[in-house]
Amino acid sequence: MLLVPRMRKLSIIVASLLSILFIISFATSDPIQESFVQCLEQHAQPNISSVIYTPNNSSFPAVLQTYIRNLRFNESTTRKPFLILTALDVSHIQAAVICAKVYALQMKIRSGGHDYEGVSYVSEVPFFILDLFNLRSINVNIAEETAWVQVGATLGEVYYRIAEKSNVHAFPAGVCPTVGVGGHFSGGGYGNMMRKYGLSVDNIVDAQIIDVNGRVLDRAAMGEDLFWAITGGGGSSFGVLLAYKINLVRVPPKVTVFQVERTYEQNATYLVRRWQEIADKLDDDIFIRMIIDVINSTRTREKTIRSNFFTLFLGDSVRLLSLLNESFPELGLQQKDCIEMSWAESVVYYTSFPLGTPVNVLLSRVPQVLTHLKRKSDYLKKPMPIEGIEFIFKKMIELQTPVLTFNPYGGRMAEIASSAKPFPHRAGNIAKIQYAANWNENGVETAEHYINLTRALYTYMTPFVSKFPREAFLNYRDLDLGINHNGKNSFLEGTVYGIKYFKENFNRLVKVKTLVDPDNFFRNEQSIPVFPHGK
């Protein structure tokens, strides 16, 4: 029984030694590195030399670290790329694909660096990073109510450029403004307007991708199957995404936000139960996110539970109060709790900036918080019983660190077919659950401690969430669900996590992958595999 773990440890040690030797060989400018760089220069126009960073370049650490959004993957022990290419031009990307194939090198594609497991900039094998943060143009057309957005743009930049031209247009996507468009859109993309307008991918009408042969394809050229795959199935399994064309949505000139907190002593148990009964059935204009965490009681100074009801309403406070007094009177919402503002201001508010912060803060690429983190996800199909909620509260107080966030479904999310996009989690879900742990200390042992706390809470929630499969959200990347080593068992390994992320859509994604990238060039630890030969 001990043989497998020992062999696994041995294989990891061997792989690490090979990787170190590989990086050393590149860092010392051996002929392989020179040949690879020459290949890039030969195939790229304009000159690519100025955007190639090797470990010998003094800017290499800064370029690598600027878009690392999870400090778990910025340790001295974290495996580093042997080269970073910060593409400025389509030809730079085409050259990267061509040359990586010639030299059989793994290419990691990074747009914003927010992937929770560092999949876009860390690998267990020798690799280089194709960094797309320079490709950030945003062209908003209010007359057509559309925009073309390059993948290196951030969500904050997209929101600002829309608001710059209109106070009654918006786009349904995430609440963190420093997230890159590439990973967010291609993996589904959701935010606090999803009950009204669905996911980001439900509002994408065209795209541009560079395929494994270096061709630039739009929706018409790539065909509907590939377009379907890159609108929810993740882009990095199929090619290098360049840009998305999005449909803007309408919002009122004034929206309303509020945050209402209730502790365990203030009947949080009942409110959490009641939220689960009604959150997916509220008016589509109402999105109430519920966040449960552990705090020190102001009365007893002991640990207690807090539930925070964090809301965006697409309308004024008078209508909001009327709706909630009817459907959720237990919350006790009052006029003084409500704040009216523009949609763009609500984005700033939802990101926890102080009230009154100028909207141009959305243009900043510096995250408000930079920390070590672990995330997991689940889907809630039916309300948890009161005893179950009490059980989870007790376990959260024991664990202290992990936070639970419930994002309500229903509305538009329940109307779209589960096969319309690779993202399958539609009707039948009350909410998506996020498990979150953040910590500030460095070190692998410290990380393992906090990761295990998160895993423990996830285990305690098992009786109350989806089953067969236990579902998960691709954009909440979680390597606990399975890792693909992209070898001869790639399809079987991919099925383990693929069914959880995509359910019945997984086989269609594999079919598309097999057609467009049969040699599995675009691969990572949780990429879509190809069918085994002969299948």
Q: What are the average pLDDT values for consecutive 10-residue runs of the chain, which has 535 residues?
A: 37 42 46 86 91 96 97 95 96 97 96 97 95 98 98 98 98 98 98 98 98 98 98 98 98 98 97 98 98 92 96 98 98 98 98 95 96 98 98 98 98 98 98 98 96 98 98 98 96 98 98 98 98 76
Per the DSSP assignment, residues forming a β-bridge with 109 are 130
Beta bridge mates, 311: 258, 288
Bridge partner residues of 259 (DSSP): 310
Q: Catalytic: 350? A: no
Strands (E) across 134-254 are located at 138-141, 146-150, 169-170, 204-210, 216-217, 240-247, 249-250
Q: Nearest-CA neighbor of 431 among 462, 464, 391, 396? A: 464
CA distance 288 to 282: 9
How much is the pTM?
Answer: 0.93
The two three-digit tokens of residue 338, written as one number: 């409500």
Distance in angstroms between the alpha carbons of the first and the last residue of the chain: 33
- Residue 231 identity: T
Among the options 197, 409, 435, 476, which is catalytic? Answer: 476
What angle, rounded to 10 degrees, do the helices at 343-350 and 155-165 form? 160
Phi and psi at residue 249, to the nearest 5° = -115, 160
Task: Give me the torsion for CA of 413, 198, 150, 226, rounded to 10°.
Answer: 40
Please state, in angstroms and rounded to a whole number, the distance separating the CA atoms of residues 472 and 503.
9
Q: What pLDDT sits at residue 47?
A: 85
Residues 291, 335 contacting (CB under 8 angstroms): no
Nearest partner of 129 among 153, 142, 112, judged by Cα:
112
Q: Name the H helices within 230-308.
A: 268-278
User: How high is the pLDDT of residue 259?
Assistant: 97
